[in-house]
Amino acid sequence: SHIFFNSSTRSSLQLIVSPNFIVSKSRIKSYTMKKKINKEIVNHSHMVQVNNKSNNFSNLVGVYTLVIREKRRFTTIWTQTLLAPIVTSGLFILIFSFVFMDRGQGSEVNENYSQFLAPGILMMVTLQNAFANTSSSILVSKVNGNIVDTLMPPLTAIELTVGFMSGGILRGLFVASGVLIVIFPSVGLIPSNIFLIFIFILLGSMTFSLMGILVGIYCNKFDQMSAVNNFLITPLSFLS
């Protein structure tokens, strides 16, 4: 051994065959196992904290800020988000009225049909705008790459959902208020129970806002959202 190995190699071989090395190796294994167990315990406690945090609803300031941001998204371009649905509703009633007049229907039937059509148009534009607000907000953020600005603040999943949903509900209420103020008096329709109208508008806007959140999370391109809008949302809103 003195011939074939130098001094450093001989010392390494002596360390390997010595009982002290076997003890130190077992200690290393024990230390590694303890470190792995401690890491698993820390990961488990972190997951428990994350799960508990995801079920909390305590950051009211953050939720309010998110709602204000969503509100400013459609109020800054009010001609597109608020005025356009009112004009669309008026065109619907006007076109159907002309169709009935061309068919030779009487004025009383024409007036009754316009009054019958107005509540359906009210719900149609309300549901479409509530869906468009949440789905476009999430999808545009994903496409532009600034979705991290929404995910980084200390907001839980419930708080983010409530914030986006509230923005969609506000847009639905704004559009519905415009149609009620402009379109309903023009056809001679006066609501007899404004409270029930508010409940229906609120529930419909809430449902389609949540659907918009799901579609915004699922879709990665505008083509996908257009397909969902054309084949699912538009038929549902037309059949409202």
pLDDT digits (tens, 9 = 90+) for 83-103: 999 999 889 888 887 777 666
pLDDT in tens, 131-140: 999 999 999 9
Q: Is 221 helix (H, G, I), strand (E, B) or coil?
A: coil
CA angle 52, 157, 218 (to 5 degrees): 140
Q: What is the pTM of this model?
A: 0.73
* Mean pLDDT computed over 149-178: 92
Whether the CB-CB separation of 160 and 214 falls below 8 Å is answered with: no
Q: Is 105 helix (H, G, I), strand (E, B) or coil?
A: coil
Q: Has residue 125 got a pLDDT over 80?
A: yes
Q: What is the distance between the terminal CA atoms of the chain, rounded to a whole angstrom?
A: 93
Residue type, 77: I
Distance (Å) of CA 132 to CA 27, 112, 178: 62, 31, 17
